[in-house]
């Protein structure tokens, strides 16, 4: 007779996470992530588990199979979806060849409908989408950035953080131009944040972009992009937008 299996399951991971639930924090998180009617996180549900706690559970269940990760990612609970994605990031980071990296990338893309808030995107898109596409054609990012779905657009932009860290700015700057016409404040913040990261590494590249576009940039996007510039430079570009 075979002994009991040591393979971990989504149910076990969920149980570990739910033991950390905190109703008071859940209420605070629901407000922070805008879950009210008509807001960007409408209808999302929270257990009240903080990100460092979720990371600890993810490490414990880092060898969860992809079918079990998929079960977590389909959960109505925000922290269970985050847990699934943190396990996937860990798996991608441990990839020893292109094949498992491609597997993680394809899994992420197939499940993007469940990646539906800014933290879920921001903590995962660079390490999975950006890392995979680093040496590959990047046309899919320009399809996603024109999607009607907010979170697809945010994945496109945040994926380029991986390239920016490698001092490669072309995709970030091209996507930022597309965002000049975006109506969502969350996208203005994302675009401005990535432009700021470009400027941290190459101020001249950022200022060339601003010289061409500051006068038509959404105000939030502009302000985020200027945060690391000297006061005089910030005032100059803010006047262009006035």
Instruction: Give pLDDT, residue 96.
Output: 60
Instruction: Give pLDDT, residue 46.
Output: 98
Helix residue ranges, H only, 61-202: 66-73, 78-93, 98-110, 118-122, 125, 131-133, 139-144, 150-159, 161-165, 170-179, 185-201
Q: All domains of the chain, ordered by start, with CATH? A: 1-109 (1.25.10.90), 137-242 (1.25.40.290)
Element (H, E) at 29: helix 23-32
Largest CA-CA distance found in the chain, in angstroms, rounded: 77
pLDDT digits (tens, 9 = 90+) for 105-154: 999 999 999 999 999 999 999 999 999 999 999 999 999 999 999 999 99
Of 26-35, 93-102, 158-167, 229-238, the range with the lowest mean pLDDT is 93-102
- Please report the sign of the dihedral spanned by the C-alpha atoms of residue 90, residue 112, residue 124, residue 144: positive
Instruction: Give pLDDT, residue 93.
Output: 86
Instruction: Give yes or no for residue 70 having a pLDDT over 70.
Output: yes
Answer yes or no: pTM beyond 0.95. Answer: no
Give the residue carrying structure tokens 């470009």: 198
Q: What is the mean pLDDT of residues 163-177?
A: 97
With CA atoms as reference, report the closest residue to 226 among 242, 211, 202, 206.
Answer: 206
Instruction: Give pLDDT, residue 40.
Output: 94
Instruction: Give pLDDT, residue 101.
Output: 79
């Amino acid at each position: 007779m075979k002994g009991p299996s040591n393979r971990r399951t989504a149910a076990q991971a969920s149980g570990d996470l739910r033991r950390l639930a905190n109703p008071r924090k859940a209420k605070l998180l629901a407000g922070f992530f805008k879950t009210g009617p008509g807001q960007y996180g409408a209808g999302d549900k929270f257990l009240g588990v903080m990100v460092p706690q979720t990371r600890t559970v993810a490490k414990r269940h880092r060898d969860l199979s992809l079918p079990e990760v998929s079960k977590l990612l389909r959960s109505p609970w925000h922290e269970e979806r985050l847990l699934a994605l943190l396990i996937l990031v860990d798996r991608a980071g441990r990839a020893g060849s292109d094949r498992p990296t491609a597997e993680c990338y394809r899994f992420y893309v197939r499940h993007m409908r469940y990646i539906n808030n800014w933290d879920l995107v921001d903590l995962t898109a660079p390490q999975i989408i950006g890392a995979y596409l680093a040496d590959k054609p990047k046309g899919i990012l320009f399809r996603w950035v024109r999607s009607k779905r907010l979170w697809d657009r945010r994945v496109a932009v945040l994926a380029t953080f991986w390239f920016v860290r490698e001092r490669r700015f072309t995709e970030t700057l091209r996507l930022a131009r597309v965002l000049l016409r975006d109506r969502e404040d969350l996208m203005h913040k994302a675009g401005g944040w990535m432009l700021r990261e470009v400027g941290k590494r190459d101020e001249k590249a950022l200022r060339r972009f601003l010289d061409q576009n500051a006068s038509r940039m959404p105000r939030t996007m502009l302000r985020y992009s200027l945060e690391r510039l000297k006061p005089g430079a910030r005032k100059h570009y803010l006047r262009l937008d006035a």
